[in-house]
Structure 1
Amino acid sequence: MAAKDELGRAGEERAVRYLTAIGYRVLDRNWRSDQGEIDVVARIDRRLAVVEVKTRRSAAFGHPFEAVDARKRRRLWQLAHAWAEANPEHARGLEIVIEAIGIIGSDPASGELEHLRDLS
């Protein structure tokens, strides 16, 4: 596995631990369709959160959230609705929200973590 892929996987692991610790229930990870991939699908209260995780060793090439631009958010909305259609038993009656977690640091386990909620 390439170093970039290992960094991303470690960041997703950290993000899942964080989300679980603050009360989210993770329903799916790395869900794929022909439109793309969702890093994490989680539920909290009456919300279904589709969470994009971006991990960087440093901010030298920009903050991780800069990669979650309007185009990426549109794609995440499409993926969120595709996931909800494929998993109606988990999505029915829930408000869908798009969220992002950015992690910066050479070690994702201890790097700085930021969580943006509801990027609608």
Structure 2
Amino acid sequence: MRAKDVTGIIGEEIAAEYLSRQGHEILERRWRGARGELDLITRDGAQLVAVEVKTRRGSGYGHPFEAITGPKLARLHRLLLEYCAAVHRLHERRRVDVVAVVLSGTSEAHAAEHLIRGVEHLKDVS
């Protein structure tokens, strides 16, 4: 597995734990539809939430939120709609959130030995 994939999986685990503590119910992890993948799908109260998780080791590539471009965000909204159609929940309220996870260190070889420098959560990104 590529080092960046390991970092992404670690970030998704951290984000899922964070969101669970915030009251989200984790419904799906790495849901794959015909047009792509959603990192997490949760339920936050009455809303279905597609959660894009961006993880970085340090700031060498900029803040994780900088990776969310207009086209990327539009794709996330389309994927959430695809998910809702697949599970027959088109009538439910839905939104897209983004979680940024910043880990300390740059050593991918010891991915399990990470320290969380920060977790930030943007709700209802449109």
**TM-score with structure 1 length normalisation?**
0.91
CA contact (8 A) 1:14 1:108 kept: no
In the TM superposition, what whole-angstrom CA distance separates every residue of 1:7-38 from its partner, at most 9, and x where no partner exists? 10000000000111110001111011221100
Q: 1:92 to 1:71 in 2, by over 3 A?
A: closer
Counterpart residue number, 1:118: 124
Task: Work out which of the residue numbers 96, 99, 113 in structure 2 matches 1:98.
Answer: 96
CA-based RMSD of the aligned residues comes to: 1.4
Q: Distance in 1 between matches of 2:51 and 2:114?
A: 17
The share of aligned pairs that are identical, in percent, is 38
Give the number of the structure whose residues are more often helix, by fraction: 1
d(CA) in 2 for partners of 1:98, 1:23: 16
Distance 1:14 1:110 in 2: 9
Contact 1:11 1:109 in 2 (8 A): no
Change in 2 beyond 3 A, CA 1:108/1:83? farther
Alignment of 1:14-29 (within 5 A): 14-29=14-29
CA distance in 1, matches of 2:64, 2:41: 19
For 2:49, what is the secondary structure of its paired residue?
strand
Structure 2 residues without counterparts, runs of 5 or longer:
105-112
Q: Which runs of 5+ in 1 are unaligned?
A: none
User: How do 1:36-47 and structure 2 match up within 5 A?
Assistant: 36-47=36-47
TM-score (norm 2): 0.87
The structure with the largest alpha-carbon Rg is 2
Aligned length: 118
